[in-house]
Structures are given as structure tokens and as C-alpha cells.
Amino acid sequence: DTAVSQTPKYLVTQMGNDKSIKCEQNLGHDTMYWYKQDSKKFLKIMFSYNNKELIINETVPNRFSPKSPDKAHLNLHINSLELGDSAVYFCASSPQGLTKIEQFFGPGTRLTVL
């Protein structure tokens, strides 16, 4: 299937642990993003990479570290998890170009920190 995929779909963990979420796209896109959706459904950008280079880094605690091994993958590593990190994390990708602005979203990873 041609899509943006994320693993895992659900992640339940204890406070203080370190965890990673993986994202892969097979759409041939150059740009990938991480968004966080809180319990009230509000969505906010966290990071964006273009061809493995970080281009957007919003005000996110440095416990969050994105890593892009190649342009098809953007992983999110979270250290020392806190209760407030509980959310749904969405990965997205988009092609490069002035008119190619649509972002394609993955199914999301629901992170629950206990």
C-alpha cells in the first residue's frame, strides 16, 4: 500500500521510561512532519525534516529528539516520559514544490504514560 505508516499504533508505558515511535512513507516525498494531538483534539506541529535536514523545531522539550536516517523515515524518540506526554502523535509527509502543499497523515500513535 502507498501510504504513511507508523509503529506502534498504541504505546503504554511508565513515567521516566524512554520510548520511540517510527514513521515511514513510501510516497517518495521529501518532507516529513511530527504533530501532537492532545486530549482535546488540538493539533500542533512539533518537527519537520526536508531530505533528512531539520527545518522546523517548535517549542518542544529537548526530551523529544527526531531522527531521520533517510528521507523516507522520520522517527521520534522521547526520553524520561512524563504524564503530559500522553497524546496521539501523527506523522505526515508532503512532496516538495510551491504547489505541492498537501500533507498526507499516518494513522497516529496513541501514547499513554502512566
Partner 1 sequence: GNSVTQMEGPVTLSEEAFLTINCTYTATGYPSLFWYVQYPGEGLQLLLKATKADDKGSNKGFEATYRKETTSFHLEKGSVQVSDSAVYFCALSLMEYGNKLVFGAGTILRVKS
Residues that bind partner 1 (CB under 8 A): 31, 33, 35, 40-45, 48, 50, 55-56, 58, 90, 92, 94, 98-99, 101-108
Quick one: 84 or 97, whose CB is closer to partner 1? 97
Min CB(39)–partner 1 separation in Å:
12
In the bound complex, what is the minimum distance in angstroms from residue 6's beta carbon to partner 1?
9
**Nearest-approach distance from CB 4 to partner 1, in angstroms:** 8
Question: Residue 11 — φ and ψ, nearest 5°?
Answer: -145, 115
Q: Which among 3, 43, 41 has a CA at the least distance from the CA of 24?
A: 3
Q: How far is the CB of 16 from partner 1 (least distance, A)?
A: 29
Q: Which is nearer to partner 1, 18 or 44 (CB)?
A: 44
C-beta closer to partner 1: residue 18 or 110: 110
